[in-house]
Amino acid sequence: MLNENHALIFDFPELKQDIVHLNHKNESFREKSKQYHVLDYDIRQLEIDGSPTDDKHMTELKIKRANLKDVLYQQLKQHHEEVISAS
């Protein structure tokens, strides 16, 4: 879907508290999250502008976004499980 916002909070609403916590307490997560959101914004802007880039470049950007999302999701999932175990 073109111009769809893939912010972590939208894609993982069940992990909202974990996203907020890690963004405040984990520098590595915060940096990767920032990179992810900038990349997502850049992709959406290219889509809005009619993709003034070639398909190969757009695909590379989307793969990079997906890889970052996977890393972030793993950190979120791990944190969530730790919180549940501590309860």
- Summarize pLDDT for 14-66 with one digit per residue, the tens: 999 999 999 999 999 999 999 999 999 999 999 888 767 888 999 999 999 99
Answer whether 29's CB lies under 8 Å from 22's CB. yes
DSSP per position, 13-31 = GGGHHHHHHHHHH-HHHHH
**Model's pTM, two decimal places?**
0.89
Cα four-point dihedral sign 62, 11, 68, 25: positive
- For residues 1 and 5, give the distance between their C-alpha atoms in angstroms, rounded to a whole number: 10
Q: What pLDDT shows up at residue 54?
A: 87
pLDDT for the residue numbered 87: 82
Angle between helices 55-86 and 16-25 (to 10 degrees): 90
